Amino acid sequence: MKTVSENRSFGGMQGVYSHESSACSCEMTFGLFLPEEARHVPVPVLWYLSGLTCTHDNAMTKAGAQAWAAQEGIALVFPDTSPRGEGVANDDAYDLGQGAGFYVNATQAPWAPHFRMWDYIAEELPALIGSEFAIDMDRQAITGHSMGGHGALTLAMTLKDRFVSASAFAPIANPTQSDWGTKQLGAYLGDDRAAWQKHDSSLLMIEHGFDGPVLVDQGTSDQFLDLLKPETLAEAMVKRRQDGVFRMQKGYDHSYFFISTFMEEHVAFHAEHLYA
């Protein structure tokens, strides 16, 4: 693992690190914020998964999460959204290929050799940060935005004993029925739609839900509402009688202005359960 940068932030340290990933067969970069408490004891961790076109840097610099994480004494992990570099497959479209890994393990050419983001987020990166930093891996929570909200919710509902709480900002909520999903899942996983279903948070919610609490925020003026399909997830939460809150926030769009507005509440939500 290499240190790319480290900057003092709200009494803690915001670092950027790179490493050779066996899951993605390339060099991967991630951001990690450690609060001051991590100098003395292992601290709980909140994962933030970013959306289409993003790198580790977007949320790290735009979401305003470090101040609230420092206040609560929790670490933040900002992974990249896909493998990158020479020899890694890509597409001219912004919503496929590099920057658009969709948090799945690709099985189809040309994506399969590198696009194994599920294994990277679920297994490889947790093992790395758990061994290299003062993080209590028995206390984890997860959140994300858009494509990252999709990833956060599907990981939380699949890895049943991993996360104590889950939240999302404007998640892609029903990708098996949306152009933000059918295109990517078809490209990465092939034509067998049964393989897509385990990556659809609305279907997973109906099937088995999440054992902890869930918080979802969605802006009413989001320009991508028809692609996100928030109503499908809200209906699934009600049908499942999920412990959670789904909030439609009047006038907010899909941008980081929306995310930063409600980030304090999301961090506090997770901290409550991480320290329960």
Q: What is the 3-state secondary structure (H, E, C) of 75-136?
A: EEEEECCCCCCCCCCCCCCCCCECCECCCCECCCCCCCCCCEHHHHHHHHHHHHHHHHCCEE
- One of 21, 146, 167, 178 is an active-site residue; which one? 146
Residue identified by tokens 């599920």 is: 118
Q: What is the predicted pLDDT for the residue at 23? A: 98
- One of 50, 80, 222, 270 is an active-site residue; which one? 222
Q: What is the predicted pLDDT for the residue at 123? A: 98
Q: What is the predicted pLDDT for the residue at 217? A: 98
Collapsing DSSP to helix, strand or coil, 66 comes out as helix
- pTM beyond cutoff 0.75: yes
Look up 178 and say whether it is catalytic: no
Q: What is the predicted pLDDT for the residue at 122? A: 98
Look up 91 and say whether it is catalytic: no
- One of 199, 254, 266, 270 is an active-site residue; which one? 254
pLDDT tens profile 44-99: 999 999 999 999 999 999 999 999 999 999 999 999 999 999 999 999 999 999 99
Closest CA to 26 of 96, 77, 98, 133: 98
CB atoms within 10 A of CB 67: 14
Question: Taking the chain, what is the end-to-end CA distance rounded to the nearest angstrom?
Answer: 32
Collapsing DSSP to helix, strand or coil, 225 comes out as helix
Write the CA distances from 240 to 83, 169, 233, integer angstroms.
35, 20, 10
Q: What is the predicted pLDDT for the residue at 258? A: 98
Q: Are strands 75-79 and 26-34 parallel, antiparallel or unpaired?
A: antiparallel
Q: What is the predicted pLDDT for the residue at 161? A: 93
Look up 80 and say whether it is catalytic: no
Residue 12 — pLDDT band, cuts 50, 70, 90? very high
Q: What is the predicted pLDDT for the residue at 101? A: 98
When pLDDT is averaged across residues 221-235 and rounded to a whole number, the result is 98
Q: How far apart are CA 182 and CA 117, in angstroms?
A: 18
Q: How far apart are CA 168 and CA 163, in angstroms?
A: 14
pLDDT tens profile 114-172: 999 999 999 999 999 999 999 999 999 999 999 999 999 999 999 989 999 999 999 99
Residue 266 — pLDDT band, cuts 50, 70, 90? very high
* Residue type present at position 253: D
Q: Contact, 153 vs 276, CB < 8 A?
A: no
Going along the chain from its start, the domains and CATH numbers come out as 2-274 (3.40.50.1820)
Q: How far apart are CA 95 and CA 212, in angstroms?
A: 31
H helix runs in the chain, sequence order: 57-62, 65-72, 117-119, 125-132, 147-158, 179-189, 193-196, 201-207, 225-228, 230-240, 256-274
pLDDT tens profile 185-225: 999 999 999 999 999 999 999 999 999 999 999 999 999 99
Q: What is the predicted pLDDT for the residue at 62? A: 98
Q: Contact, 101 vs 81, CB < 8 A?
A: yes
